[in-house]
Chain A
Amino acid sequence: MSMVETTRPLTQAYKDALVHLLLVLADDDLAFGHRSSQWLGLAPDLEEDIAFSSIAQDEIGHAAFFYRLVSDLAGEDADALAFARPTQVRKNARLLEQQNGDWAYTIARAYVYNIFEQVRLEALLASNYLPLQQGATKILREERYHRLHMETWFLRLAEAGGEARFRLETAVEHVWADLSDLFTLGNHQHDLIHEGILPTTEQALYEAWLTEVKPMFDRSSLYWPGNRGELTSEDLSGATTAKVDGSTSEEERNGRLGQHSEHLDELLQTMTEVYRSEAGATW
C-alpha cells in the first residue's frame, strides 16, 4: 500500500487492537442496521418505513466500510466477516442484538445508540489510523440526521403523556438493563489508548454520552434510570474480565467478549439465510 496510514509502526499489538476495534464498530452497526431494516413495512407510518430503511442502509454501509478496513489489514473477505462469523466471536453490544420490541423500545434504543455512536466517532477523529479517522469524519456528517430523528421521536413520546410516555418509560428500563457493555472496549482498551488508535477511555466515552443524554431526560422530566449505566472504572474493568461460564449472570455478560443472548443467534439466522444458501456466490 502506497499511502502512509499510521504514524505508529504497524506492530502485532497495534494490528490486533485495531482489528478488534474495527470489528466492534462493524458488528455494532451491522446488528443495529439489521434491526432497523426489520421495520420495513411495519413502521407506524410511511415516513418511518422510509426513515428506518434509509437509516438501515446507512448503518449497514458503515459496517461494510469497517469490515473492508479489516479485510485490508487481515486479508479476510468482508462479506465473510459480516455473514460467516459465529455468535461467540461477534463483538456487538448486547443492547443492539435485542429484538425490536415496540416502537418506544426501538426509539429509546436508537436514541441511546446514536448518541454513543457520535461520541465514539468524535473520539476517532483523533485516531492515528488514517483510514479510520477519515471514515469517522465522513460518517459523522451523515449520522447527525439519525440523531436528530431519534431525538425528535424520543421527545415526542416523552411529551405525549399517556400510553406513549408509559411505554417509553418501560422501554428505557429495558434499554438500561442491557447498557453496560456498550461503553466497554473488550480486552484491548490499554493498547487502543497506548497505540493512539482510540485515544480515550471507556469512562470518558461514558461521561461524554452522559453529558448528552441526561439533559434530555431532565428536559422531558423523565425518571433517570440511574446507576445501572453509571459505570465506575471498577465496573468497567470488571466487565472486561467477566468469565464465560455458567455463573455469569445475564447482566454481567459482555458482547465485546462474544457473550451474547439468544437474540443474536436469531438475528444471524435470519440475516445470513441467503448467504448460507450458497456461500461464496456473487449476488
Chain B
Amino acid sequence: MAESRTETKLLDRVREALRDVKDPEIPTLSLEELGMVRKIDVEGNHVSVRLLPTFVGCPAVELIRGMVAKRILEIEDVQDVEVTFVMDVAWTSDMITHGGRRKLSEFGIAPPPRQFSPKSAPSCPYCGAEDTNVVSLFGPTACRAVYYCKSCQQPFEGMKFV
C-alpha cells in the first residue's frame, strides 16, 4: 500500500512516542526494547498498534494497552488509535533487543538465556560472578525466575527463556 508522505512522517512520530512507553514493572525498558511491538499502521490520522504479549496470562496487558493508547493520542494529528494484542508470531525472550538486555542487567535482572536451560543460572547482574544458583524457576512475575549469587551473596531475578 502506497503511503503518503504525511503518513510516513506520522508513523515515525508514533514509533518515537512508543519509545516513551515502558514496561510497568521495569521502568527503564520500553515495549520496543522488550520486542513487544509487532506492527504499527497509519492510515490518514488513524493509528493501529499491534503488540505481542510476553505471557498469555500477563496481568499487565490491559494496563499496557491503556498506556500505549494514551501516549499515541497525545501526538498532534492523531485522531484515534487502536491497540490490539496479537499472537500471529509467539513472543520469545530472544526478541528482547541488545539494548534491552543491557538495560535489564543494569536494573538488576539477568537477561534471559538463549535456550531452555532450567538447571543453570545466569551470571549475577550485580557483580558479574558466574558462581550462581537456581533458587526457584517461578518468581514474582510469570516471566522471571529467582537465583542466588554465591559471590556477593545476593538473591537476584532473571528473565526466563520462553
Residues of A that sit less than 8 Å from B by CB: 47, 50-51, 53-55, 57-62, 64-65, 131, 134-135, 137-139, 141-142, 144-145, 148-149
Contacts and interface: CB of A to CB of B under 8 A. Distances in A.
B90 A47 contact: no
A57 B88 contact: no
A62 B57 contact: yes
21 contacts: A47-B138, A50-B136, A50-B138, A50-B139, A57-B142, A58-B55, A59-B57, A61-B56, A61-B58, A61-B59, A62-B57, A64-B57, A65-B57, A134-B88, A135-B56, A138-B53, A138-B56, A138-B90, A145-B138, A148-B118, A149-B138
Given A62-B56, A135-B56, A142-B56, A54 B138 contact: yes
A247 B27 CA distance: 61
Given A142-B142, A142-B162, A57 B57 contact: yes
B118 A145 contact: yes
B162 A141 contact: yes
B137 A58 contact: no
B119 to A, nearest CB: 9
B127 interface: no
B91 interface: yes
Interface of B: 53, 55-59, 87-88, 90-92, 116, 118, 135-140, 142, 146, 160, 162
A239 B14 CA distance: 56
Nearest to B61: A61
Contacts of B90: 134, 137-138, 141
Given A58-B142, A135-B87, A145 B137 contact: yes
A60 B139 contact: no
Contacts of B56: 58, 61-62, 65, 135, 138-139, 142
Contacts of B59: 57, 61
A141 B142 contact: no
A198 B25 CA distance: 37
A57 B88 CA distance: 23
A60 B139 CA distance: 17
Closest 7 CB pairs of A and B: A61-B57, A54-B138, A51-B138, A138-B90, A134-B87, A47-B136, A141-B162
Contacts of A59: 57
